[in-house]
Amino acid sequence: MSSRSPKRATPRRSAPQASIPCTVCGQAVVAITITVDGHPLEMSACANCDTRSWNLAGRPVELRKVLEQVGEHAGRRR
């Protein structure tokens, strides 16, 4: 039996990104990006004024379109 402790993985941290201002109130928003059918889908949300926006492949899209895109590809594996 070895007295050495197992090596622990060092968590990877992404580089800090510049704050993105809310288009309504100017406060910083939180942005989350997922990949849908090979394209980045980003949701941005402002905790201050509750504004939300979505961009698919760099273009603004409405929530209805986001739900259609995600629904078409939900559960599909690559």
- 3-state SS of 24-45 is CCCCEEEEEEEEECCEEEEEEE
- pLDDT number for residue 8: 52
- pLDDT number for residue 15: 52
- pLDDT number for residue 12: 52
- pLDDT number for residue 71: 81
- pLDDT number for residue 68: 85
Split the chain (78 residues) into runs of 10 and give each run's mean pLDDT. 52 61 94 89 95 93 88 66
Query: pTM score, two decimals?
Result: 0.65
Dihedral angle, C-alpha 51, 45, 70, 14, nearest 10 °: 160
- pLDDT number for residue 19: 81
